[in-house]
Amino acid sequence: MRYNHVQLIEKLRQLRIIPVIALEQAEDIIPLAETLVNNGLPVVEITFRSTAAVQAIQLLRERKPDILIAAGTVLTTEQVVQAKKAGVDCIVTPGFNPKIVQLCQNLDLPIIPGVNNPMAIEAVLAMGIDTVKFFPAQASGGVGMIKALLGPYSMLQIMPTGGINLNNLQDYLSIPNVIACGGSWFVESTLIKAQNWNEIGRLTREVVASIR
């Protein structure tokens, strides 16, 4: 299915954790996605940190139409267009770029822009967006900073990403405005490169069990 903004937020609230993935080989996305789905996590954020991103998104959309696919680390309007053509459900950016937000709104493509301070939040709200990525989460003050920002900005829906692991995951998820967290510790590039699907499966089960 294609998600509108409301459906997307609802789905993320159900999932609670988004695997943030950097791939060197596009083909690795299929066994990786199968491992995630089989262990209870039918979602991926494929980052544009590598040139394999677009092909990986296309492959996954063709082979696994039911999985929720986000494009992450999107830095240019060209990448938005590429991601949309490849079949993503939403765009996630590390910071706030008004041109990217405007393009996504024009394309009717949900976007979760990155913020970590009041100035960026004000700019995002001015464009009619209330769902944001808090990045880099731990380095920007973590749970304490999110709670402080929610004082004046209680309307925000937040997806913290960056420095999150099994030890602090629950601290973030216990905040009502946090819809889900982004994490890469259970889909490390080294594990993907080694095609260690068993270990990724074990770590994913661990994550899903901690959320449930």
Q: In what order do the strands lie in the sheet with 43-47?
A: 111-112, 90-92, 68-72, 43-47, 17-21, 181-183
Cβ pair 183, 19 in contact under 8 A: yes
Q: Exactly one of 133, 188, 193, 206 is catalytic; name it.
A: 133
Backbone angles phi, psi at 209, to 5 degrees: -65, -40
Nearest alpha carbon to residue 159 among 172, 147, 148: 172
Cβ pair 36, 208 in contact under 8 A: no
Q: Is 133 a catalytic residue?
A: yes
Interhelix angle for 53-63 vs 29-38, to 10°?
A: 50
Q: Is 45 a catalytic residue?
A: yes
Q: Exactly one of 10, 11, 45, 78 is catalytic; name it.
A: 45
Catalytic residues: 45, 133
